A and B are shown apart, each in its own frame.
Chain A
């Protein structure tokens, strides 16, 4: 597949969704390292409220989409594959959790942190890329 002007045009809508998403991250202060510390120290309800509400809204939306067999804009049937369990979800999940509390960021907020002027987080981003790459390199040797 080639990148063509039309494929870029088609993908611009995701840039738009991303922009709104990034604004929400900053305006609700979800990108704040302090919010993550509050969450993991059980000293504030804020992040639980955000994630809990997002899950409820997501759940209701997916239920509606399935219930009314809604199609995407281009007419495709919306199907969401099931996720298969493997031990990576446990080991990887624990490892990510440790990193989340240290950096105060999951991958999404990482981008918004850089955007809102904490340029040093670009290093964190590069290191996250390195982590992803190292996982790819050792994938077959890791327990799954």
Chain B
């Protein structure tokens, strides 16, 4: 049972409970993308005002994301689902048109593998994709955790607007941009 994939409601409840847990154990506001800023402030502040603050005060956030990394290690070492991931048939059909046919792992190995690093595919999926995530979340002032979950839970209109824009960007990217990009490979 514990090795089977968990139901969305279980995941949703546990993720939602992170909000009060962080507030109650230390008055911390749930948010993950800020950790990227703290890493910049820690390693490469370069006298940029945006990174000139005491990141040590935000140490909790860095501990939190390192915990996420460790959680990933633990879950994949001890709680791995022995079966292949179940993906919607319609998604499989659409992805097959782009040459994504391997559904054995959580991530498509035809994209996320080391042999793609120096290819155009690698440039798009790792470098460009990652850059957009880092740039966009900071520009928006938060990501799915800070805006969609924490912000909307606290009835913040700016967070609702940001979340709608995340979704619009994602719909555009998955349905229009990615099909065009897959044609390049």
A-side interface residues toward B, CB under 8 Å? 1-3, 7-8, 11-34, 36-41, 43-47, 49-59, 61-62, 64-65, 70, 72-74, 76, 78-80, 82-86, 88-108, 110-121, 123-137, 139, 142
| Interfacial residues of chain B within 84-139, with CB under 8 A of chain A in the complex | 85, 87-88, 90-91, 94-95, 103, 106-108, 111-114, 116-117, 122, 124-139
Nearest A residue to B23 via CB reads A78
A27-B6, A90-B165, A123-B117 given; 18 more Cβ-contact pairs under 8 Å: A14-B63, A18-B63, A19-B67, A22-B68, A26-B75, A38-B87, A40-B170, A70-B24, A73-B25, A91-B140, A93-B164, A96-B132, A96-B143, A101-B178, A103-B125, A123-B130, A135-B139, A136-B48
Q: In the complex, how many angstroms separate the beta carbon of B7 from the nearest chain A beta carbon?
A: 8
Q: Are A34 and B85 in contact (CB under 8 A)?
A: yes
B-side interface residues toward A, CB under 8 Å? 5-30, 32-33, 35-37, 39-40, 44, 46, 48, 50-51, 54, 56-57, 59-61, 63-76, 79, 81, 85, 87-88, 90-91, 94-95, 103, 106-108, 111-114, 116-117, 122, 124-145, 147-159, 161-175, 177-178, 181
Contact partner of B153 among A20, A62, A130, CB < 8 A?
Answer: A62
Q: Are B71 and A115 in contact (CB under 8 A)?
A: yes
A36 to B40, CA, bound (A): 27
Inside 8 A of B94's CB, which chain A residues have their CB?
37, 41, 43
Q: Are A130 and B134 in contact (CB under 8 A)?
A: yes
Q: Are A135 and B91 in contact (CB under 8 A)?
A: no
Q: Are B54 and A52 in contact (CB under 8 A)?
A: no
A112 to B69, CA, bound (A): 5
Q: Are A132 and B66 in contact (CB under 8 A)?
A: no
Inside 8 A of A128's CB, which chain B residues have their CB?
36, 130-131, 133-134, 137
Inside 8 A of B6's CB, which chain A residues have their CB?
24, 27-28
Inside 8 A of B33's CB, which chain A residues have their CB?
106-107, 132
Q: Are A93 and B163 in contact (CB under 8 A)?
A: yes
Inside 8 A of A70's CB, which chain B residues have their CB?
24
Q: Are A16 and B132 in contact (CB under 8 A)?
A: no
Given A72-B23, A93-B136, A111-B69: A98 and B11 within 8 A (CB)? no
Given A41-B174, A54-B149, A88-B141: A116 and B76 within 8 A (CB)? yes
Q: Are B133 and A49 in contact (CB under 8 A)?
A: no
Inside 8 A of B152's CB, which chain A residues have their CB?
55, 58-59
A102 to B16, CA, bound (A): 25
Q: Are A40 and B63 in contact (CB under 8 A)?
A: no
Q: List 19 A-B contacts (CB under 8 A).
A: A12-B63, A18-B67, A21-B15, A22-B68, A22-B69, A22-B70, A24-B15, A29-B85, A33-B111, A53-B11, A53-B13, A56-B16, A57-B17, A58-B150, A72-B27, A89-B141, A93-B166, A100-B166, A130-B130
A116 to B167, CA, bound (A): 26
Q: Are A131 and B107 in contact (CB under 8 A)?
A: no
